[in-house]
Structure 1
């Protein structure tokens, strides 16, 4: 259940089913938003800003692809390069073209190019697609942009099955060994790349892309972790920001420990909402007496899986960690609640296949056993952007009461999952700090009141930090809000994207 800061839109989480910040040398870009952004550095980067892309047809009809070059190390712009996969779908008309709209679904580790092709480029409102070229870039280390690689598929299967609620010193050792093996695999396979996949560097790549596309200002919709990426960009380049929407917002001022603890509380809030709905159903697998009883039933089920994993109709069995991940995956989207009820019903009667399928969707594991690089990139970015939440099992054990108070059912596992960066081969270069983006155009920050992965208070915090932040609230369930069924939210964001009028401060939608 490696869920630490794995922040994606619900559409990205379930794409697989339907079709979680560490370190380098002084040469790293670091976390200082002003570092390397001056005229002298801009001159050194001229060959990147002035490059011409070789666009060509690719895969899906109407989409074009290209490879954009960026320096591997921004402190050494004349050194090694990295190729970044980019894609676009040109504005369809009618209406005056407004430029490019860059989209990112989150992660870190989610493929923006796949998101563009499978959803944003065809599913965003027609009036938005009519007037914007819809564009995407896989961030460095992700998918087609020199992906971080760490484990074989068989090793990754074993990693996802490791017990993350250890009951004794032997199980603690097994868990820490799994984290060490994961980190060593990343170092062995991607040592030169690991120090250069930070969010700051990805944001700097975005500014090159903006210029290469011919846009004076960057227009952007970032979801989940994509809000952190967008806020970082605005902090680096406030004068280059255009119409920016940050949906399912993160709070960049939080430490890694606080992120994990508050996200744990977010999943508890989301599960409580699911439980309140479930107990009203005649055939709720967790009973019909009360939400608290439902939570206790789920916890007992997880404890049962810990003792005796369930058969799934294949060689893999449903362990406690896989079962927990399957439940967490369904928390991202209220539309998945019926599927979760059915999966729990099957699990409670001895069949773990449906919960395993939910877990596989979360990890982006295909039916033939192949994993995307989502989890590898997720760890690489997270462990570079912030110091680890914990550096030893003893620190986790001391924090367990706080995590279990935040969530009696998920707290223990999420606390131990927060140890994953402790053994990372490179030190963190970033640090927690507010994003101000002084002088930027209005930035719309969207928060969902019962969001499991990015708690609503994060959106409140980010909107207050940003010099021009405008908070837009969705009173609802699930992760992110745009395109999820609220006409009020969609109208407010579409109006902003199309004519530049942001919603009034404090606007709330259902």
Structure 2
């Protein structure tokens, strides 16, 4: 049926950085002295911080459009920071994932979940990567067309369905190219990692201290591969295995969501008022029935919109990112099964897609997700190969697997080529890099964190035994202590620590 590629206080004033490059004990320079030739002006820029949202300061950095050509023009990067409330260690740049997640929006809601030692010691800096939201951004469809695009269903078991899906992806790619221009070919992860190094210098730090979640782990690992001598204390939470190809990632994520859904069904059936009856296997089949029914006859809602299969899948999937969301999934399934309506599923799908009640969108996360992924890597769009891969995925994940198939269509007509990798994924020479995996993470399965920790020469694996996506800020004191002791004090956790 449908194919969906998913992959969700006052501070004390601290003196500003000196305009003169500062060297640490290793002799590494900040500012323009550490810039690649031709990019000194970007590295040496002075950031002008102004109070913006309550308790935060904002600034706009200038970055080159192309890190391969200093004369190609420039773009803007949006920054927001929470100032260190005590003795400052440096700046900690944070990325919430995606690709396409806004670090500015994330920081406003998340910084209070960080431990006090971390907030005392760092200027915590959120940023919108190139292509994302308040930075120079990718643009594709207008709101009405985007609403239609996100709700589309295709029967990919038929030639006509495949052709319709291919045509839809091509139209989206064409719109992205027309409305974004040259920036669309420059929003790859390597370019964003080079932006990180520029931001490190502009912030006055000789090393990058970084906390990345989900896709943000790929960005952090890419930085370590490109700049191992400038990597400081890096924590990568909910990691993506850099050795996997697109097909392996699709299957891994399908299995991750399958396992998370099974955990939900088990919990639901153990409680009261669960609409899923019988065994856990039968409950899983009933969830699949809800999704299939949306394809055959979209669920009506109290408004004018209907819930297609694609929207129903988004509505189910978004609740699996944290077990605290399970009760609203029960409500949504109860409505669909017992009333034949989809109001709660639609609410959840809109939440996932950052859609506002008036039909507009609060972010460009969908656009940036497509753009970054299509530049970083792409899989074959050969029909026979995709069909064989789809059969494997659906066998591994009978309930959710369908929605992770035929991914090769997404980038088949992308107007810019895949970017050539310039770095060693093992990041030789980097200091210890802490990698955190959650054992039943749906979006970045635990085996991916194991894979990243094994691939990085200096990787240190920390395990959170639990449900949901990522761990720091939402799990337990053991994880919080490991992260904060490393970032603040430099104390490396024991490799294999389990929390």
Residue 42 in structure 1 maps to residue 46 in structure 2: no
Are the equivalent residues in 1 in contact too, given 2:290–2:333 (CA < 8 A)?
no
After superposition, the C-alpha distances for 1:156-195 in whole angstroms (9 at most, x for unaligned) are: 1111111144353333322222111111110111131111
After superposition, the C-alpha distances for 1:206-239 in whole angstroms (9 at most, x for unaligned) are: 0010011111111110000000000000111111
Partner of 2:11: none
Partner of 1:423: 413
After superposition, the C-alpha distances for 1:37-73 in whole angstroms (9 at most, x for unaligned) are: xx99723211111111111121x12211111111111
Are the equivalent residues in 2 in contact too, given 1:4–1:418 (CA < 8 A)?
no
Partner of 1:321: 310
After superposition, the C-alpha distances for 1:253-312 in whole angstroms (9 at most, x for unaligned) are: 11112111211111111111111112212321121x221111111112222111111111
Secondary structure of the residue aligned to 1:421 is coil
Secondary structure of the residue aligned to 1:368 is coil
Partner of 1:158: 148
Structure 2, unmatched stretches of 5+, are 9-32
Deviation (angstroms), 1:434: 6.2
CA distance in 1, matches of 2:233, 2:332: 41
Higher relative contact order (Cα pairs below 8 Å, separated by 6+ residues): 1
Residue 377 in structure 1 maps to residue 371 in structure 2: no
Structure 1 pair 135/161, CA: closer, same or farther in 2 (3 Å)?
same
TM-score calculated relative to the size of structure 2: 0.91
Secondary structure of the residue aligned to 1:505 is coil
Deviation (angstroms), 1:314: 1.4
Are the equivalent residues in 2 in contact too, given 1:243–1:443 (CA < 8 A)?
yes
CA distance in 1, matches of 2:400, 2:217: 25
Partner of 2:256: 266
Are the equivalent residues in 2 in contact too, given 1:253–1:433 (CA < 8 A)?
no
After superposition, the C-alpha distances for 1:423-474 in whole angstroms (9 at most, x for unaligned) are: 2111212459862121211110000111111111111111111121100001
Secondary structure of the residue aligned to 2:478 is helix
74, 88, 111: which one pairs with 2:102?
Answer: 111
CA distance in 2, matches of 1:412, 1:42: 45
CA distance in 2, matches of 1:62, 1:350: 46
Partner of 2:385: 395
Partner of 1:342: 331
Structure 1 pair 418/285, CA: closer, same or farther in 2 (3 Å)?
farther
Structure 1 pair 432/180, CA: closer, same or farther in 2 (3 Å)?
farther
CA distance in 1, matches of 2:172, 2:379: 17
Partner of 2:190: 200
After superposition, the C-alpha distances for 1:106-147 in whole angstroms (9 at most, x for unaligned) are: 000000111112222x33222211111010221100011111
Are the equivalent residues in 2 in contact too, given 1:194–1:426 (CA < 8 A)?
yes
Aligned length: 473
347, 351, 354: which one pairs with 1:361?
Answer: 351
CA distance in 2, matches of 1:482, 1:55: 28
CA distance in 2, matches of 1:159, 1:166: 16
After superposition, the C-alpha distances for 1:363-417 in whole angstroms (9 at most, x for unaligned) are: 111111112210000000000001x223144432232210101211111221035
Secondary structure of the residue aligned to 2:291 is helix
Partner of 2:29: none
CA distance in 2, matches of 1:302, 1:417: 19
Partner of 1:444: 434
Partner of 2:83: 90
Partner of 2:45: 51
After superposition, the C-alpha distances for 1:337-388 in whole angstroms (9 at most, x for unaligned) are: 11111111111121201011111111111111112210000000000001x2
Taking the TM superposition and a 5 Å limit, the aligned residue runs for 1:125-204 are 125-204=115-194
CA distance in 2, matches of 1:48, 1:301: 52
Structure 1 pair 40/279, CA: closer, same or farther in 2 (3 Å)?
closer
Partner of 2:271: 281
Are the equivalent residues in 1 in contact too, given 2:60–2:77 (CA < 8 A)?
yes
Residue 102 in structure 1 maps to residue 93 in structure 2: yes
